[in-house]
Amino acid sequence: MIEFRNVSFSYGDKPVLENLSFRIPTGEARVIMGQSGSGKSTILRLILGLAKPDEGDILIEDTNICGVRPRVLREIRKRIGMVFQDGALFDSMTVGENIGYYLLEHSKMRFDEIGEKVREMLGFVGLSEDIIDKLPDELSGGMQRRVAIGRALLSTDPKIMLYDEPTTGLDPSMASNILSLINRLTEFKKVTSIIVTHQIADAFEISKKFIVIDSGKSIFDGDITQLRQADDSRIVEFLKPFRDSIANVQKNEFI
Ligand SMILES: Nc1ncnc2c1ncn2[C@@H]1O[C@H](COP(=O)(O)OP(=O)(O)O)[C@@H](O)[C@H]1O
Ligand SMILES: [Mg+2]
């Protein structure tokens, strides 16, 4: 479970999040949508404990992370997998080293055992074992994103996955692949997931429930039917370019 209770946060005197509240039950996925600069990445930073709210509380699996010691925070962070906007792989390491890095550094597993885990993970994220010795540069953007997801999974055995703009820069079919991988993770591994995106079409592929933020405030929290009915002018404005994809989602629901 991840819960924000009346969270406010500013960078210096610049308010970024204002009185933000939402709750995501264990094992569910939420898409947080909002324009660039609306505060989405900041929400993820707060969940990771990389920044602290000025006001309000953040609960992760019943622990209020705002007042805990750094050691407790590190334990919580170990259960959170994070996939950043640009994949952020280590350029000079092979795919295998990228995915197995955490185990190499922090576990007592033998080299061949780690190799085995890495191969399994490549299969899980839909990549061939043949790329294990390649460098990230030699892969397509979509493959790099898969490697990043594999690395996050093998590093943390996560209860929570956070994805920051997971399909940005990918062509539509690659994007769709990544989204179905995210879906698979949420459904079969029962991972609580937050997917942050400004690409609204993504949202409908992943989640049935959405949060829309605008200038750090939550202006919507609900499902597609409620989203279509929303008459808040900021939501109408935000949704305008995507009217067709929203209409399609509704059609599909009746099939
Ligand atoms: N380290 C920082 N210092 C000062 N301002 C920041 C910092 N990081 C982000 N901001 C500002 O906070 C606002 C929200 O940023 P962010 O959470 O990254 O938005 P989003 O991910 O929705 O694009 C933006 O106006 C951004 O310029
Ligand atoms: Mg961002």
**pLDDT tens across the length of the chain (255 residues):** 999 999 999 999 999 999 999 999 999 999 999 888 999 999 999 999 989 999 999 999 889 999 899 999 988 988 898 887 666 788 899 999 999 988 888 888 999 999 999 999 999 888 999 999 999 999 988 899 889 988 888 887 789 999 998 888 778 888 888 888 888 888 877 899 999 988 776 777 777 789 999 999 999 999 888 888 888 998 888 877 777 767 776 555 544
**Strands 2-11 and 14-24, sheet pairing:** antiparallel
Task: Check pocket membership of 40 for ligand 1, CB cut-off 6 A.
Answer: yes
Cα–Cα dist 44/49, whole Å: 9
Q: How far is the CA of 37 from the centre of ligand 2 (A)?
A: 7
Cα–Cα dist 93/136, whole Å: 8
Task: For ligand 1, atom 14, name the residue with the nearest CA.
Answer: 39
Query: pTM of the predicted model, to two decimals?
Result: 0.87
**Which pLDDT does position 87 carry in this prediction?**
62
Query: Measuring CA to CA, how many Å separate 144 from each of 14, 88, 122, 137, 167?
Result: 34, 9, 12, 9, 11
User: Which atom number of ligand 1 is nearest to the Cα of residue 198?
Assistant: 22
What is the residue whose two structure tokens read 């929400």?
43
Task: For ligand 1, atom 1, name the residue with the nearest CA.
Answer: 11
Cα–Cα dist 121/115, whole Å: 10
Structural domains of the chain ordered from first start: 22-50+63-254 (3.40.50.300)
Q: Determine the residue of 7, 13, 14 to mutate for testing ligand 1's pocket, defined as the one with the most ligand atoms within 8 A of the Cβ atom.
A: 14
Q: How far is the CA of 26 from the centre of ligand 1 (A)?
A: 27
Task: Check pocket membership of 42 for ligand 1, CB cut-off 6 A.
Answer: yes
User: Which atom number of ligand 1 is nearest to the Cα of residue 14?
Assistant: 5
**Which pLDDT does position 153 carry in this prediction?**
85
Cα–Cα dist 135/114, whole Å: 18
Contact 153, 182 (CB under 8 A): no
